[in-house]
């Protein structure tokens, strides 16, 4: 990467970070509050009646999944809203005519989404310490899963923004796709509790591998193979980043 490309990437990343940090009360605080309610309702109130899960208290079991849920939601929403706003205000055209590659544009926006997701993940983790004493089993797995998941959904948010024609289009995918997949992704339960046929069906949900990979980093337990989780994340990252690059290169939804 030459100095011009590095400067462009750094500038775009700083712009994206400044964007969500300037309104941190709207971008960083709400996820922490929402997750606190999950901890209180599902962890303390309902968890006491459910009992242990895979050898851990129910609160300990759901914390990794709730952190991952916050990471997924925020990485996706940050990029989708930011890039669509750039399209709507016609600012993205300035990037397209600038002497920088399409990869710089993609990495700049994705980097901003990852930064927000990681900050939210840290905040939710700190909030969870008020309810449960977290232990870290495999720090490397935590970091790898966090980076691959946040980059995947940040890039997916970019793809959504490319196709979106109105602000309502941005909310359709999180509402009708991400939310159901997340709730069915093993955040609140172990796949071992499901009948065998539904375990097989659940493993078609990519979020299962993200949640279980992250849970393994904290607790050392997982419903799927660890290397399988990493492999799925890498494959989906390559597919989504490749799709984003192809769309930007062709100017789909951008060039009129």
| 56-60, 88-92, 160-164, 236-240, range with greatest mean pLDDT | 236-240
How far is the C-alpha of 68 from the C-alpha of 71, rounded, in Å?
5
What pLDDT does residue 99 have? 80
Tell me the mean pLDDT in the region 236-246: 96
**Concatenated DSSP letters of 200-244:** HHHTT-HHHHHHHHHHHHHHS--SS-HHHHHHHHHHHHHHHHHHH
Q: pLDDT for 50-73, tens place per residue?
A: 878 888 888 899 999 999 999 999
Average pLDDT, the chain: 90
Q: Quick one: how far is CA 95 from the chain centroid?
A: 25
Among 8, 20, 146, residue whose Cα is nearest residue 81: 20
Burial tier of 42 (Cβ tally within 10 Å: 0-12, 13-18, 19+): middle
Is pLDDT at 256 greater than 60 in this prediction?
no
How many Å apart are CA 111 and CA 121, to the nearest integer? 15
């Amino acid at each position: 990467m030459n100095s011009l490309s590095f400067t462009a990437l750094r500038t775009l990343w700083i712009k994206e970070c400044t964007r969500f940090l300037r309104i941190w009360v709207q971008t960083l605080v709400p996820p922490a509050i929402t997750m606190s309610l999950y901890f209180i309702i599902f962890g303390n109130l309902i968890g006491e009646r459910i009992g242990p899960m895979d050898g851990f208290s129910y609160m300990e079991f759901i914390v990794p999944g709730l952190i991952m849920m916050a990471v997924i939601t925020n990485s996706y929403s940050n990029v989708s809203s930011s890039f669509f706003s750039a399209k709507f205000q016609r600012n993205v055209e300035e990037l397209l005519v600038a002497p920088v590659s399409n990869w710089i544009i993609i990495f700049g926006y994705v980097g901003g989404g990852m930064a927000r997701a990681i900050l939210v993940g840290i905040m939710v983790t700190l909030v969870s310490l008020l309810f449960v004493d977290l232990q870290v089993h495999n720090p490397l797995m935590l970091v790898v899963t966090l980076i691959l998941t946040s980059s995947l959904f940040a890039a997916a948010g970019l793809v959504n923004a490319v196709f979106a024609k109105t602000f309502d289009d941005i909310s359709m995918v999180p509402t009708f796709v991400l939310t159901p997949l997340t709730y069915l992704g093993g955040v609140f339960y172990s796949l071992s509790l499901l009948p065998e046929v539904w375990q097989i069906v659940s493993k078609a949900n990519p979020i299962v591998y993200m949640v279980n990979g992250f849970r393994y980093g904290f607790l050392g337990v997982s419903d799927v193979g660890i290397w399988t989780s990493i492999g799925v994340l890498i494959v989906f990252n390559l597919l989504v980043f490749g799709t984003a690059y192809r769309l930007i290169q062709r100017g789909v939804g951008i060039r009129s």
